[in-house]
């Protein structure tokens, strides 16, 4: 019997290297944009735009960077499958924490600015994305970690978990784009007096 060929498989290394370089570029550009062009970051400030900037940073870091890293964990983390699974779960949990803090910052900005909540396409896409992300995390935690479904059931759930996870990630990217477009339509605060 001839040995099985794996020549059809593509190495994930070039893709993950590109993704990590892209993550560094995104983080750098977002920080430059927020710190230099949008007056910085603060949860308490008389310049309310600084509070909204915290929302922007936490959502990009949570949803796109940490969430993307969690998706790639099975290819980038060396070790056994259980180690990769725990890294995947922990990264998604950290993303969830960043997302919750980002939501808090958005609602605080709206409250302090006297703006009603949930009036834009970005905000509704965000609520949908966050709800799906949270449900996906809870469902996966109970199906795969504690108490864990039967191994045949888990095997049947993996393709759906993967598909829904990628859809949520792409929805997060679309929501971020909608937020970016929305931020360009709003008038900027005047620069702080020195």
pLDDT of residue 149: 84
Q: Using the predicted structure, report yes or no on whether residue 12 has a pLDDT greater than 80.
A: no
Domains, the chain, ordered by start:
17-185 (1.20.120.1770)
Q: Residue 46, by phi and psi: left (phi above 0), alpha (psi -120 to 50) or beta?
A: alpha
Contacts of 169 (CB under 8 A, 6+ apart): 63, 64, 67, 68, 71
Average pLDDT over residues 85-110: 95
Q: Is the pLDDT of residue 194 over 60?
A: no
Q: Confidence band (pLDDT; 50, 70, 90) for 184? A: confident
Q: Who contacts 17 (Cβ-Cβ below 8 Å, separation ≥6)?
A: none
- Would you say residue 2 has pLDDT above 80? no
188: left (phi over 0), alpha (psi -120 to 50) or beta: beta
Residue at token pair 């834009």: 120
pTM over 0.95: no
- How far apart are the C-alpha atoms of 45 and 117, rounded to whole Å? 20
Three-class secondary structure assignment of 75-100:
HHCCCCHHHHHHHHHHHHHHHHHHHH
pLDDT tens, residue by residue, 117-135: 999 999 999 999 999 999 9
Residue 43 main-chain phi, psi, to 5 deg: -85, -20
């Amino acid at each position: 019997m001839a040995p099985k060929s794996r020549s059809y498989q593509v190495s994930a290394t070039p893709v993950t290297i590109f993704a990590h370089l892209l993550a560094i570029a995104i983080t750098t550009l977002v920080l430059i944009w927020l710190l230099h062009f949008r007056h910085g970051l603060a949860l308490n400030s008389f310049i309310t735009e600084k509070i909204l900037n915290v929302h922007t940073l936490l959502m990009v870091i949570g949803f796109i960077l940490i969430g993307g890293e969690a998706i790639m964990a099975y290819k980038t983390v060396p070790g056994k499958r259980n180690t990769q699974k725990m890294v995947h779960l922990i990264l998604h949990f950290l993303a969830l924490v960043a997302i919750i803090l980002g939501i808090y910052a958005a609602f605080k900005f709206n409250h302090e600015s006297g703006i009603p909540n949930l009036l834009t396409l970005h905000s509704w896409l965000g609520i949908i994305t966050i709800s799906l992300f949270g449900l996906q995390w809870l469902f996966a935690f109970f199906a795969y970690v504690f108490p864990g479904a039967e191994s045949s059931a888990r095997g049947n759930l993996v393709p759906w978990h993967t598909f829904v996870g990628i859809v949520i990630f792409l929805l997060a990217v679309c929501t971020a784009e909608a937020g970016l477009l929305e931020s360009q339509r709003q008038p900027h605060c005047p620069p702080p007096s020195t």
